[in-house]
Amino acid sequence: MKKALPPYVYRRKGGLYYYERRGHKSQRIHAEPGTREFALEYAKILNGVQPAPVGKTFKALVKSYRESKRYAKLAPRTARDYEKVLAWVEAKLGDKDATKIQRKDVIRARDANADAARFASYIVQVLRILMEHAIDLGWRQAHDNPAKGVELIKADTDEREAWPVEKIEAFRAAADGRTLLIFELCLGTGQRIGDVLRMRWDDIEDGGIKVRQGKTGARLWLPLTARLREVLDATPRRGLTICAWGNAGKPTSYRGAADMVMKVRKKIGAEAWDLHGLRYAAAAELAALGCDDGTIQAITGHKTLAMVARYAGPARQKARAKKAQEMRE
């Protein structure tokens, strides 16, 4: 017996089903008649809901982006941050049409995640990049990026502060071994903890150390301070990385480093200053010594002078104020 089909649905060559009605665009129905999926597709067509074009879903867009040169150029740290949002896009938007998203949809997605300000802002940033990739693929018209210009959500958190001199000296007096080594590497080089933990003994040359920043990809050579040289000279070589530990020379993990440093921070009452604050402290120390922003940037490796000025500003203002007051006396 011939299978009964709903109005305007026809079975075509190859067993494919189409919705065909005079004055309307022909549309393929992918599900098998008699199933729940078929009923849903048919209902959407009757209600004017257009299915996403095959191959132009967010899931397909994310897959294409991951295979692109744009993605391959990302620093490992940035790629890890982006992956959290890409997974969210696949879960929330996967089967939706990437050519139809509008600015209001981007804002709605941002606001729905506003409780996690950093993640909400990353949603906007990653959608902006995905839309640029969609333009490159020809899925959207040039300059048709609905995420471009959407405001990010500023995290409601206190600004990090540079470690004060008295807390730095207190830490040095209370710490030893690997804990002191990690502390001095962070302060002496002005680098992020992730980059510090990847530093190798064979990176040291000509009285300095070579660094490739995980976040920016910047390649730097940094001269060692006298205090850092002293600590390095007293450190046994247990593995390839400078902060390696144990007989097997196992690299120190981020969590391990943070826990060791936190133990001393609690002991000296320095819970308010974290490991990243040592990067601020390095910039502040250089600013207090009279270094300009470009010179400080050569050490910290910041991409912009604006970021350097943000780190060094308070210390520079303090140094200048002292000099001004001395001139008054």
Same domain, residue pair 183 and 84: no
Domain of 211 in residue numbering reads as: 165-328
Q: Domain with 292 in it: what CATH number?
A: 1.10.443.10
Residue 153 lies in a domain: no
The pairs formed by 231-239 with CB atoms below 8 angstroms and a separation of 24 or more are 231/180, 231/181, 231/184, 232/181, 232/204, 235/181, 237/201
Q: Residue 124: its pLDDT value, please?
A: 94
| Res 285 pLDDT > 50 | yes
pLDDT in tens, 248-271: 899 999 889 999 999 999 999 998
Same domain, residue pair 185 and 251: yes
Give the count of domains, the chain.
3
Same domain, residue pair 320 and 193: yes
Q: Residue 145: its pLDDT value, please?
A: 95
Residue 151 lies in a domain: no
Same domain, residue pair 200 and 258: yes
Sheet holding 16-19, edge to edge: 9-12, 16-19, 27-29
Residue 257 lies in a domain: yes
Same domain, residue pair 182 and 252: yes
Q: Tokens for 96? A: 């939706």
Neighbouring-strand partners of residue 205: 208
Same domain, residue pair 78 and 226: no
Q: Domain with 73 in it: what CATH number?
A: 1.10.150
Per-residue pLDDT band at 14 (split at 50, 70, 90): confident
| Res 44 pLDDT > 90 | no
Same domain, residue pair 123 and 221: no
Same domain, residue pair 17 and 62: no
- Contact call for residues 94 and 129 (beta carbons, < 8 A): no
Tell me which amino acid residue 154 is.
K
Residue 156 lies in a domain: no
Same domain, residue pair 27 and 67: no
